Structure 1
Amino acid sequence: MTGDIKQPRQRRLSSWTTRRWLRVGIAASLVALTLLGATGAWVLGRTQAISNNLTDVRSPSLSTAFRLETALVNQETGIRGYGLTGIPEFLAPYRQGLADQKAHTRSLGDLLHGDPARTNDLEEVREAVGRWQEGIAEPVAAEPPGAPPAQAAERLANGKAAFDQVRHALENQQERLRADRVRARADLQSTMILRNWVFGTIALVIVVLAALVFEGLRRGINRPLEQLGADARTIAAGDFSHPITPTGPADLRRLSGEIESMRRRLLRELAFTEEARQRLDAQAADLQRSNAELEQFAYVASHDLQEPLRKVSSFTQLLQRRYGGQLDERADQYIGFAVDGANRMQTLISDLLNFSRVGRVHNAHQSIDLDTVLEETLSALSVAVEETGAKITHDPLPTLVADPSQMVMLWQNLIGNAVKFRRPDGTPRIHITAAEEAGLWRFTVTDNGIGIPPEYAEKIFVIFQRLHTKETYSGSGIGLAMCKKIVEFHGGTISIDPDYREGARVTFTLAPEPPQLPTPSATPEDARAEAEQAR
Structure 2
Amino acid sequence: MTGSERPPRTWWLSTWTTRRWLQVGAAVSLAVLALLGVTGAWVLARTESISRDLVDVRSPALTTAIRLESALLDQETGIRGYGITGTVDFITPYQEGLAEQKTSIAQLTELLADDRAGLDDLKTVQDAVDKWQERIARPIAAAPTGSPSPLATERAAEGKKAFDDVRAALTAQQERLRADRVRARDDLMATMALRNVVFGAAAILIVVLTAFVFEGLRRGITRPLDQLGADARTIADGDFDHPISPTGPADLRRLSGEIEFMRRRLVRELAFSEEARQRLDAQAADLQRSNAELEQFAYVASHDLQEPLRKVSSFTQLLQRRYGGQLDTRADQYIAFAVDGANRMQVLINDLLDFSRVGRMHNTHQSVDLDKVMERTLSALSVGIEEAGATVTHDPLPTLVADPTQMGMLWQNLIGNAVKFRRPGEAPEIHVTAAREDELWRFTVTDNGIGIAPEYADKVFVIFQRLHTKDAYSGSGIGLAMCKKIVEFHGGTIGVDTDHQDGTRIAFTLASEPPASPGPSTLPEADRSGTEQTR
Residue range with higher mean Cα deviation, 357-366 or 240-249: 240-249
Task: Return closer, same or farther for 1:242/1:360 CA change in 2, 3 Å cut-off.
Answer: closer
Q: State how far apart, in whole Å, the 1-side matches of 2:311 and 2:319 are.
A: 12
Deviations 1:390-442 (A, max 9, x none): 11111000111222221111111100100111111322111100011121111
Q: Alpha-carbon deviation of 1:227?
A: 2.8
Q: State how far apart, in whole Å, the 2-side matches of 1:260 and 1:19 are.
A: 22
Q: Alpha-carbon deviation of 1:476?
A: 0.4
Task: Return closer, same or farther for 1:238/1:480 CA change in 2, 3 Å cut-off.
Answer: closer
2:341 corresponds in structure 1 to: 341
Asked whether the 8 Å contact 1:303–1:349 carries over to 2, the reply is no
Q: State how far apart, in whole Å, the 1-side matches of 2:19 and 2:287 are.
A: 53
Aligned length: 322
Q: Secondary structure at the match of 1:419?
A: helix
Task: Return closer, same or farther for 1:304/1:250 CA change in 2, 3 Å cut-off.
Answer: same
1:321 corresponds in structure 2 to: 321
1:489 corresponds in structure 2 to: 489
2:356 corresponds in structure 1 to: 356
Deviations 1:434-460 (A, max 9, x none): 011121111100011111111111111
Q: State how far apart, in whole Å, the 2-side matches of 1:268 and 1:357 are.
A: 42
1:305 corresponds in structure 2 to: 305
Matches within 5 A, 1:265-284: 274-284=274-284
Task: Return closer, same or farther for 1:327/1:270 CA change in 2, 3 Å cut-off.
Answer: closer
2:411 corresponds in structure 1 to: 411
Q: Alpha-carbon deviation of 1:491?
A: 1.6
Q: Secondary structure at the match of 1:361?
A: coil
Q: Alpha-carbon deviation of 1:269?
A: 6.9
Q: Alpha-carbon deviation of 1:237?
A: 2.4
2:59 corresponds in structure 1 to: none
Q: Alpha-carbon deviation of 1:318?
A: 1.0
Aligned AA (2:460): I
Structure 2 runs not aligned, ≥5 long: 1-7, 25-215, 519-535
Aligned AA (2:406): Q
Q: State how far apart, in whole Å, the 1-side matches of 2:466 and 2:19 are.
A: 69
2:332 corresponds in structure 1 to: 332
Deviations 1:124-173 (A, max 9, x none): xxxxxxxxxxxxxxxxxxxxxxxxxxxxxxxxxxxxxxxxxxxxxxxxxx
Matches within 5 A, 1:181-260: 224-240=224-240, 242-260=242-260
Deviations 1:177-209 (A, max 9, x none): xxxxxxxxxxxxxxxxxxxxxxxxxxxxxxxxx
Asked whether the 8 Å contact 2:495–2:506 carries over to 1, the reply is yes
Q: Alpha-carbon deviation of 1:277?
A: 4.0
Q: Secondary structure at the match of 2:290?
A: helix
Aligned AA (1:385): I
Q: State how far apart, in whole Å, the 2-side matches of 1:440 and 1:217 are.
A: 58
Deviations 1:193-236 (A, max 9, x none): xxxxxxxxxxxxxxxxxxxxxxx999986764343121111233
Q: State how far apart, in whole Å, the 2-side matches of 1:424 and 1:335 are.
A: 31
Matches within 5 A, 1:90-169: none
Asked whether the 8 Å contact 1:302–1:352 carries over to 2, the reply is no
Q: Secondary structure at the match of 2:417?
A: helix
The structure number with the bigger radius of gyration is 2
1:450 corresponds in structure 2 to: 450
Q: Percent identity?
A: 83
1:55 corresponds in structure 2 to: none
Task: Return closer, same or farther for 1:217/1:424 CA change in 2, 3 Å cut-off.
Answer: farther
Q: Alpha-carbon deviation of 1:311?
A: 0.8
Asked whether the 8 Å contact 1:299–1:353 carries over to 2, the reply is no
Q: Secondary structure at the match of 1:482?
A: helix
Asked whether the 8 Å contact 2:448–2:502 carries over to 1, the reply is yes
Q: State how far apart, in whole Å, the 2-side matches of 1:330 and 1:482 are.
A: 38
Residue range with higher mean Cα deviation, 380-389 or 472-481: 380-389
Output the TM-score relative to the length of structure 1.
Answer: 0.54
Task: Return closer, same or farther for 1:239/1:324 CA change in 2, 3 Å cut-off.
Answer: closer
Q: Secondary structure at the match of 1:451?
A: coil
Task: Return closer, same or farther for 1:400/1:220 CA change in 2, 3 Å cut-off.
Answer: farther
Q: Alpha-carbon deviation of 1:12?
A: 8.0
Q: Alpha-carbon deviation of 1:16?
A: 4.7
Aligned AA (2:441): W
Task: Return closer, same or farther for 1:266/1:420 CA change in 2, 3 Å cut-off.
Answer: closer
Q: State how far apart, in whole Å, the 1-side matches of 2:272 and 2:479 are.
A: 48
Task: Return closer, same or farther for 1:310/1:23 CA change in 2, 3 Å cut-off.
Answer: farther
Matches within 5 A, 1:40-79: none
Q: State how far apart, in whole Å, the 2-side matches of 1:448 and 1:340 are.
A: 31
Q: State how far apart, in whole Å, the 2-side matches of 1:424 and 1:222 are.
A: 87
Aligned AA (2:340): D
1:501 corresponds in structure 2 to: 501
Q: Alpha-carbon deviation of 1:297?
A: 2.8
Aligned AA (1:392): V
2:470 corresponds in structure 1 to: 470
Task: Return closer, same or farther for 1:283/1:251 CA change in 2, 3 Å cut-off.
Answer: same
Asked whether the 8 Å contact 2:351–2:478 carries over to 1, the reply is yes
Q: Secondary structure at the match of 2:353?
A: helix
Q: State how far apart, in whole Å, the 1-side matches of 2:250 and 2:501 are.
A: 70
Q: State how far apart, in whole Å, the 1-side matches of 2:341 and 2:302 are.
A: 16
Q: State how far apart, in whole Å, the 2-side matches of 1:408 and 1:264 are.
A: 55
Q: Secondary structure at the match of 1:436?
A: strand
2:42 corresponds in structure 1 to: none
Q: State how far apart, in whole Å, the 2-side matches of 1:481 and 1:218 are.
A: 70
Asked whether the 8 Å contact 1:448–1:502 carries over to 2, the reply is yes
Asked whether the 8 Å contact 1:228–1:256 carries over to 2, the reply is yes
Q: State how far apart, in whole Å, the 1-side matches of 2:510 and 2:297 are.
A: 29
Structure 1 runs not aligned, ≥5 long: 1-7, 25-215, 519-535
Task: Return closer, same or farther for 1:298/1:463 CA change in 2, 3 Å cut-off.
Answer: farther
Asked whether the 8 Å contact 2:13–2:249 carries over to 1, the reply is no
2:399 corresponds in structure 1 to: 399
Q: State how far apart, in whole Å, the 1-side matches of 2:21 and 2:504 are.
A: 70
1:378 corresponds in structure 2 to: 378
Task: Return closer, same or farther for 1:250/1:499 CA change in 2, 3 Å cut-off.
Answer: same
1:427 corresponds in structure 2 to: 427
Q: Secondary structure at the match of 2:431?
A: strand
Q: State how far apart, in whole Å, the 2-side matches of 1:359 and 1:377 are.
A: 20
2:285 corresponds in structure 1 to: 285
Q: Alpha-carbon deviation of 1:272?
A: 6.2
Q: Secondary structure at the match of 2:500?
A: coil
Aligned AA (1:300): V
Output the TM-score relative to the length of structure 2.
Answer: 0.54
Asked whether the 8 Å contact 1:367–1:399 carries over to 2, the reply is yes
Q: Alpha-carbon deviation of 1:373?
A: 0.8
Q: Alpha-carbon deviation of 1:241?
A: 5.5
1:41 corresponds in structure 2 to: none
Q: Secondary structure at the match of 1:288?
A: helix
Q: State how far apart, in whole Å, the 2-side matches of 1:226 and 1:487 are.
A: 55
Task: Return closer, same or farther for 1:320/1:20 CA change in 2, 3 Å cut-off.
Answer: farther
